Structure 1
Amino acid sequence: MRGKVRRKYDKEFKTMVVNLCLSGRKSREVALEMDLDRSMVQRWVREYDTYKANSFKGNGNPVMTAEQEEIAHLKAELHQAQMDRDILKKAVSIFSKSDSKNFNL
């Protein structure tokens, strides 16, 4: 027996559900009406409260502000630069060992 099939909801649907909750209806009531889990509705409302128009990017992508996106990009660049540095350090170490063997008198 297989588990539940994961359903996907587009941004418009999520926004409509959030607007129903913000108009004064209870999340439990909206969840029952739309055949959704109550915790999912509450999570959508929290996300909308936090990010407003930037909410619900989709496909598991985290919602980030412009500053958070820049920080993530800079962290990725730093990580790449550190890896490049470590590779160069190892290469220098290897070549300097082989040079000392060739010139050892």
Structure 2
Amino acid sequence: MKKIRKNYNLEFKMQAVSLSEQRGNVSSIAQKLEICKESLVTWRKLHKEGKLTYEKQISSDPIREKLLRLRKGLEETKLERDILRKAVGIFSKKDG
């Protein structure tokens, strides 16, 4: 039988971490929430590192950051190109 991977939203993860920190027993909290103990341990670790927050998360991977920066630059270049095309079209029209 195929195992289905569950996805939990950030709010659920934050509440689970908060509950586990208050009560202290990770395995019993995981069992009550019907989640894997290892997932809760990972979420707690990410929370301590400051990576599990409500703020927009940006990857610390330098390759990913470079890719995002290049994509943003490409979008700006496309916008500039489109503006120049429109300007050429406007100025090349003959008054008639």
Q: So what's the TM-score if we normalise by structure 1?
A: 0.51
Against the structure 1 CA distance between its residues 46 and 56, is the aligned structure 2 distance closer, same or farther, given a 3 Å change threshold?
Answer: farther
Against the structure 1 CA distance between its residues 4 and 15, is the aligned structure 2 distance closer, same or farther, given a 3 Å change threshold?
Answer: same
Against the structure 1 CA distance between its residues 64 and 12, is the aligned structure 2 distance closer, same or farther, given a 3 Å change threshold?
Answer: same
1:7 to 2:6 alignment = yes
Q: Once superposed, what is the RMSD of the aligned Cα atoms? A: 2.9
Identity score, percent: 19
Among 70, 73, 89, the residue aligned to 2:65: 73
List structure 1 segments (4+ residues) > 4 angstroms apart after TM superposition: none
Q: In the TM superposition, what are the counterparts of 1:22-101 in structure 2 within 5 Å?
A: 22-51=21-50, 54=53, 64=58, 68=60, 72-74=64-66, 76=67
> C-alpha distance in 2, partners of 1:6/1:40?
12
Against the structure 1 CA distance between its residues 73 and 25, is the aligned structure 2 distance closer, same or farther, given a 3 Å change threshold?
Answer: closer
Q: Which has the larger radius of gyration?
A: 1
Q: Is the 8 A contact 1:11 1:56 kept in 2?
A: no
> C-alpha distance in 1, partners of 2:49/2:11?
17
Paired letter, 1:73: E
> C-alpha distance in 1, partners of 2:65/2:51?
23
Q: So what's the TM-score if we normalise by structure 2?
A: 0.55
Structure 2 gaps of 5+ residues are 71-96
How many residues are paired up?
68
> C-alpha distance in 2, partners of 1:8/1:14?
10
> C-alpha distance in 2, partners of 1:69/1:20?
30
Structure 1 residue matching 2:35: 3-state secondary structure: coil
Structure 1 residue matching 2:5: 3-state secondary structure: coil
